[in-house]
């Protein structure tokens, strides 16, 4: 049995292992950063840390998110920085038995290595995502990390 944070994106439900989730935040207006990949809507500050905000709907469906009162940011650790994924709604924390998880077939896995399985539950299917792999798989992550590091460095030097 593993715990997952389940969220809604369009009509589908996805889940991220709870140990990879730092927090779930209400949507806040990110600061726009020029010259960044189009899926990055900007950066926000969470508990003193600069966090890039990624449009999960654009990443998975090719369309920009539409903000509602339920829109949330699922903040995860991705490699060595925190990353916020915009989701339509954070649903619940759910225990998923390992026997309910089916592996993604190899062809699909090669195209989307961040989809790590499908949880087949009696009343629904939930796609399991590894946020580390998703972030690592994106084009432009190097530019995002460089921006975060340089912005964090310049903030540190301003305080000195």
Render pLDDT for 49-97 as a digit per residue (tens, 0 to 9): 999 999 999 999 999 999 999 999 999 988 789 999 999 999 999 999 9
The enclosing H or E element of 4 equals strand 2-9
Per the prediction, the chain carries an average pLDDT of: 89
- Domain containing 78 equals 2-159
- CATH number of the domain bearing residue 130: 2.40.50.180
* Residue 147, φ and ψ in degrees, nearest 5: -65, -45
Question: By C-alpha distance, which of 47, 44, 29, 19 is closest to 148?
Answer: 44
Does pTM surpass 0.85? Answer: yes
Which tokens is 143 given? Answer: 């530019």
For the chain, the domain total comes to 1
Q: What's the confidence (pLDDT) of residue 160?
A: 45
pLDDT at 115: 86
The predicted structure's pLDDT at residue 136: 87
């Amino acid at each position: 049995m593993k715990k997952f944070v389940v969220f809604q994106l369009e009509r589908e439900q996805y889940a991220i292992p709870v140990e990879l989730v730092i927090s779930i935040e209400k949507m806040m207006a990110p600061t726009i950063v020029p010259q960044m990949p189009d899926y990055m809507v900007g950066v926000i500050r969470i508990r003193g840390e600069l966090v890039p905000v990624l449009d999960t709907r654009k990443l998975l469906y090719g369309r920009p998110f539409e903000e509602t009162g339920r829109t949330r940011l699922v903040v995860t650790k991705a490699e060595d920085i925190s990353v916020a994924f915009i989701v339509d709604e954070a649903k619940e924390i759910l225990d998923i038995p390992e026997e309910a998880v089916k592996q993604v077939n190899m062809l699909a896995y090669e195209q989307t290595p961040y989809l790590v399985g499908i949880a087949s539950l009696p009343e629904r299917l939930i796609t399991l995502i590894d946020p580390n792999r998703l972030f690592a798989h994106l084009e432009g992550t190097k530019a995002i990390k460089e921006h975060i590091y340089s912005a964090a460095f310049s903030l540190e030097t301003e305080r000195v």
